[in-house]
Chain A
Amino acid sequence: MDEIVKTIGLKNNCTFCGVFRRQALDRGAALMRADKLVTGHNADDMAETVLLNILRGDIARLSRCTFIITGEDGPIPRCKPFKYTYEKEIVMYAYFKKLDYFSTECIYSPNAYRGFAREFIKDLERIRPQAILDIIRSGENFRISTSTKMPEQGTCERCGYISSQKLCKACLLLEGLNRGLPKLGIGRSRGLNSAKEDGEQRMLRSEVKGSNLQSKQCGTLDF
């Protein structure tokens, strides 16, 4: 991550880290022949995510972000058993059970957007603790208007990972890093067939260039 930040600067760090970490988790799980992938997302995280997606107008994510199980049709379903558990409960539990609790603030996220959602939620929690669960419930009950165009899930042409575009985000970001184009894949295209996204995708697929960091084929992953 240090290397990446050296290339892209101190903005959009979360995008790179999140995308790569997520794929790394999925691929690692596949290598270990795991059946399920379980993450430690807690109620606070879920509420933050719902708010974040509203603030950003990310309808696709908004519709999915409160699912407790995702990827059921895929090879390794993912689940968040702590979805309704408050962070406070978890910390208290760790403290009283004397579990190894380490907390490190990510050094690259001082101005991450999520931080603002978090701050807001924490202030809310102080006044009305149930707000966190209520936000999650609101998120669960969102229904997307039928006239909104939603992305379709396919596979990445380059590596085979699941993707709603021709190239998955990881391949896109990787290509940007290799070519010294730190903004490639950053920023949202308005509408699914916008010029920007199309342009980026076409440029990358037409050239068969050797890159320093290859996108590994997802050969054994039946995505």
Chain B
Amino acid sequence: MRLTLDGGLDLLCNSVKIHHVDVDPKTGEDKLSMRDLLSWIKSNLIKERPEMFVKGDSVRPGVLVLINDCDWELCGSLDAVLEEKDMVVFISTLHGG
């Protein structure tokens, strides 16, 4: 699936905005949830300052998540199930002074 990091988040991943990734569901599960994807991203894509991206189980408050251009809050947030062709976009709204 395709992951896009916007609003400055790409800086946490060596300035790469778009990532094409293949993430397998956790062993024992047949579906990939957003929760799992987040921890995968934290371990594999985020190279610095993870606290800018995640807080606890979820994204840091202020980071918008879109699954196929739809607000993830409408899809179940952390429990949303992801498929191979999905596009997930993370946009940080935190900036400025």
Known: A92-B64, A126-B61. A109 touches B97 (CB 8 A): yes
A73 contacts partner chain B, Cβ-Cβ < 8 Å: no
A99 to B35, CA, bound (A): 30
A17 contacts partner chain B, Cβ-Cβ < 8 Å: yes
Q: Is the CB of B6 within 8 A of A104?
A: no
Known: A91-B91, A95-B91, A109-B97. A103 touches B7 (CB 8 A): yes
B94 contacts partner chain A, Cβ-Cβ < 8 Å: yes
Q: For the complex, would chain A's binding face be called helix, strand, loop or mixed by DSSP majority? A: helix
Task: Contacts A91-B93, A118-B62, A118-B94 known; list 17 others, CB within 8 Å.
Answer: A17-B97, A88-B64, A91-B7, A91-B91, A92-B64, A95-B89, A101-B6, A103-B8, A103-B93, A104-B96, A105-B8, A105-B94, A106-B96, A108-B97, A109-B97, A119-B61, A126-B61
**A109 cross-chain contacts in B, Cβ below 8 A:** 97
Interface residues of A in 65-121 (CB under 8 A from B): 87-88, 91-92, 95-96, 101, 103-106, 108-109, 112, 114, 118-119
Q: Is the CB of A106 within 8 A of B64?
A: no
A104 in complex: contacting residue of B60, B64, B93, B95, CB < 8 Å: B95
**Chain B contact residues, CB within 8 Å of chain A:** 6-8, 60-62, 64, 66, 69, 71, 89, 91-97
Q: Is the CB of A122 within 8 A of B61?
A: yes
* Residue in B6, B66, B89, B96 whose Cβ sees the most chain A Cβ within 10 Å: B96
A122 to B64, CA, bound (A): 12
**B61 cross-chain contacts in A, Cβ below 8 A:** 119, 122-123, 125-126
**A125 cross-chain contacts in B, Cβ below 8 A:** 61
Q: Is the CB of A101 within 8 A of B97?
A: no
A49 to chain B, nearest CB (A): 12
